């Protein structure tokens, strides 16, 4: 009656891996991480924009496939904030460069 198992041992349960399903939370986590990276690296606009666009895509795909998810929504929001910050920094840099060229008398060189 002992079946060869101790009191704390249970027989190995060999179940088949799930087929289909919702794919877990991988895309939601990726969306959130990419959104946070886009906000943190907003001064490096080319990395920030790439991460933000990927974060929005992953968040939308996750919400479309698995229903609304808080992490995916947070990733979309952070990605949008990252895009806005990156564009604002680009505009400020362009305005600063134009002002600097006026002060330095270089307006003829930039045209």
What pLDDT score was predicted for residue 1? 54
Structure confidence at residue 101 (pLDDT)? 76
Per-residue pLDDT at 86: 95
pLDDT (0 to 100) of residue 10: 60
Tens-of-pLDDT digits for all 111 residues of the chain?
Answer: 555 555 666 656 666 555 555 556 889 999 999 999 999 999 998 999 999 999 999 999 999 888 888 899 999 999 999 999 999 999 999 998 888 877 666 665 555
Q: Are 56 and 97 in contact (CB under 8 A)?
A: no
């Amino acid at each position: 009656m002992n079946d060869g198992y101790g009191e704390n041992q249970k027989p190995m349960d060999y179940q088949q891996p799930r087929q289909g399903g919702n794919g877990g939370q991988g895309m939601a986590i990726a969306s959130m991480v990419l959104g946070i990276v886009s906000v943190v690296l907003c001064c490096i606009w080319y990395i920030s924009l790439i991460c933000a666009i990927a974060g929005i895509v992953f968040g939308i795909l996750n919400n479309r496939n698995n229903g609304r998810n808080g992490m995916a929504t947070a990733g979309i929001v952070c990605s949008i904030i990252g895009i806005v910050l990156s564009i604002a920094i680009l505009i400020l840099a362009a305005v600063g460069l134009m002002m600097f060229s006026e002060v330095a008398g270089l307006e003829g060189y930039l045209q």
